[in-house]
Amino acid sequence: MPAQQRRVRPRDRNNVLARPEFMSLGQSLPMLQENRGPNRKQSGQTGNSTEGAKERRQSQQLPEEDCMQLNPSFKGIAWNSLMAIDIAMSKRLGVCANSGSSWGSARSMVKLIGITSHGFPWIGGTIVCLWKSNTLAGQEVLTNLLLALFLDILTVAGLQKLVKRRGPYDMTPGVLDYLLLDVYAFPAGHASRATMVSKFFLNHLVLAIPIRILLVIWAFMAGLSRIMIGRHHISDVLGGFVIGYLQFNLVEFIWLSSNTCQMITSLW
């Protein structure tokens, strides 16, 4: 026995785990769990159960989010790239965004172009013309135009509320924009209205070729003016053009007859 003890002691001296500071590493796992058990119970009693549930949910969600960030899909990369190009080009075209911009002196004139496609002038003018109209054909066209204008306001307001996209520049909407629910950027209501009205006139009015060309140019300039003053992105205006064309087709599909229009106008 003494010989065995003499052989063990040098080993204990050379063994790193025999040192006091490393004694815990040599303990078995059950002993460690027993030592940690009361601490866990105490922390569990003092902690909030709802916070623990939130932490568990976050720990389950974090790996998936990390995978999405580290391994984005091709569609995600393409979409983010297009959005970055859209924002960069829209800010570059916002030459009248404020008085200090490169075309800041022309801001009032560019805003005037946008006002020509505002909802209030078109709705008010259509109501006045409808009130003074004496022919059935005129009442039919004006009533359907008024229907298209109200449809445009409701469609644009609903989509803007759904998407809630801000413009390229931090600008507060005007009072008329709040009244017409034209607060957010996508889609551009002025662009959709100008497209719908110009298409409506081209199809239902007999106009000379120069006037027809001017209508198309006006619709394009109305959308471009909203980009130049920094109110909308390029994609917002393009989306407005598409929505305005679709609205015209919808009004053509649900076109109100002259008898229906006469019945509506007789209520006034």
Among residues 163, 184, 178, which one has the least CA distance to residue 231? 184
More confident site: 34 or 117: 117
CA distances for 254 relative to 20, 62, 154, angstroms: 89, 50, 16
How much is the average pLDDT of 126-133? Answer: 90
Among residues 255, 263, 227, which one has the least CA distance to residue 95? 227
Which residues are within 8 A (CB) of 169 and not within 5 positions of it... i.e. 6 or more apart? 91, 94, 97, 98, 230, 231
In eight-state DSSP terms, residue 48 is -
The number of angstroms, rounded, from the C-alpha of 159 to the middle of its chain's C-alpha atoms is 9
More confident site: 204 or 8: 204
pLDDT of amino acid 197: 95
CA dist 226 and 257 (Å) reads: 35
Q: What is the rounded average pLDDT for all residues in the chain?
A: 79
More confident site: 26 or 86: 86
pLDDT of amino acid 9: 55
Q: What is the b/e burial string over 14-48, where b = at least 16 CB atoms within 10 angstroms of the residue's CB?
A: eeeeeeeeeeeeeeeeeeeeeeeeeeeeeeeeeee
Q: Is the pLDDT of residue 130 over 70?
A: yes
Q: Is the pLDDT of residue 240 over 70?
A: yes
More confident site: 257 or 243: 243
pLDDT of amino acid 89: 93
CA distances for 13 relative to 7, 21, 23, angstroms: 11, 14, 13
CA distances for 180 relative to 150, 152, 222, angstroms: 10, 10, 17
pLDDT of amino acid 56: 59
Q: Which residues are catalytic?
A: 190, 232
pLDDT of amino acid 41: 45
How much is the average pLDDT of 165-184? Answer: 78
Q: Is the pLDDT of residue 140 over 60?
A: yes
Q: Is the pLDDT of residue 5 over 50?
A: no
DSSP H/E element including 257: none
pLDDT of amino acid 225: 93
pLDDT of amino acid 80: 87
More confident site: 190 or 59: 190
pLDDT of amino acid 167: 87
pLDDT of amino acid 248: 95
| 3-state SS record for 197-256 | HHHHHHHHCCCCHHHHHHHHHHHHHHHHHHHHCCCCCHHHHHHHHHHHHHHHHHHHHCCC
Contact by Cβ (8 Å): 186, 168: no
CA dist 103 and 90 (Å) reads: 15
